[in-house]
Amino acid sequence: MSKKVAVIPARYGSTRFPGKPLVLLCEKPMIQWTYEQVLRAKTIDEAVVATDDDRIVDCCRAFGGKVVLTSASCPNGTSRCEEAVSLLEEQYDIVVNVQGDEPLIEPEIIDRVVQCLLNTDDIVYSTACTPFKVKEEAKLTNRVKILLDQNGYVMYSSRGLIPHNKEGCVRDFPPPFQQGAYMLHVGIHCYRRHFLDTYCRLEPTPCMLMEDLEHLKVLEHGYRMKCVVVDESPHGVDLPEDVALVEKLICRFKEEHEL
């Protein structure tokens, strides 16, 4: 049976929101909410926070979380994941990268993404997406869009509006595809362990650098990715102004689950 580990990269020095993993949401640091949500996934055998900051290490140890200290020179979250897994005593077959700023990530989404990788032999990477609830948000560059073929394989991903059109605007899909939707990439990445090592040795690629999207390197080097479509997107914390809404949602979550 394949062993699965979830790695939660967490940097303190975010340029847009310094100290973000430690921000309190309903009296708990955000990284703790994310960690506990990840452990609720049925497919996950172990979870670990990967950070380059002693303050986050101390926080995780205080709530009983597993944490490893990684190099401050890691260029991105994927590299931090690879370093973290290499520091663990256990050997794992599947590595799930869950963003530390997703305190409301649904365990069922994690399970579906893991099962997608396990059940599809010709892919090295799986992820998730969801239809935009507010179509106009597809224009925003901090909302990453993803294009799938009819079998769920990823064709491309962009910060720009895709699919695009001659008018250059957000619009309904043409007949007979009126039910089509712009798809929002959900911040979860699942790799085969051997490919994670390969990924970190691959050269950067043009679209990866242009779009500033790590997963495009997978496609540009000719590997296949698959994406599961989920009904809801977790509410991440990108900026300080996101905190109030996410905290309100967490309070509602606590009441519903009697936490």
Residue 258 has pLDDT above 70, yes or no: no
Residue 254 has pLDDT above 90, yes or no: no
pLDDT-based confidence at residue 235 (cuts at 50, 70, 90): confident
What integer pLDDT is reported at residue 252 of this predicted model?
84
Least confident range from 17-21, 122-126, 143-147, 248-252: namely 248-252
Least confident range from 48-52, 73-77, 92-96, 201-205: namely 73-77
What integer pLDDT is reported at residue 75 of this predicted model?
84
What integer pLDDT is reported at residue 259 of this predicted model?
64
Percent of the chain with pLDDT over 70: 98
pLDDT-based confidence at residue 47 (cuts at 50, 70, 90): very high
- pLDDT tens readout for residues 70-92: 988 888 889 999 999 999 999 99
Section 226-238 average pLDDT: 86
Residue 68 has φ and ψ, to the nearest 5°, of -125, 145
Q: Is 70 exposed, middle or buried (0-12, 13-18, 19+ CB in 10 A)?
A: buried
What integer pLDDT is reported at residue 234 of this predicted model?
66
State the Cα–Cα distance between residues 225 and 78, nearest whole angstrom.
15
Six-digit token pair at 224? 């296949």
State the Cα–Cα distance between residues 230 and 50, nearest whole angstrom.
26
pLDDT-based confidence at residue 240 (cuts at 50, 70, 90): confident
Section 92-106 average pLDDT: 94
State the Cα–Cα distance between residues 117 and 222, nearest whole angstrom.
17
- pLDDT tens readout for residues 18-44: 999 999 999 899 999 999 999 999 999
C-beta separation of 215 from 130 below 8 A = no
Q: Which of 229, 235, 113 is nearest to 179 (CA)?
A: 229
What integer pLDDT is reported at residue 158 of this predicted model?
98
CA quadruple 221, 222, 223, 227: dihedral positive or negative? positive
CA quadruple 49, 51, 55, 61: dihedral positive or negative? positive
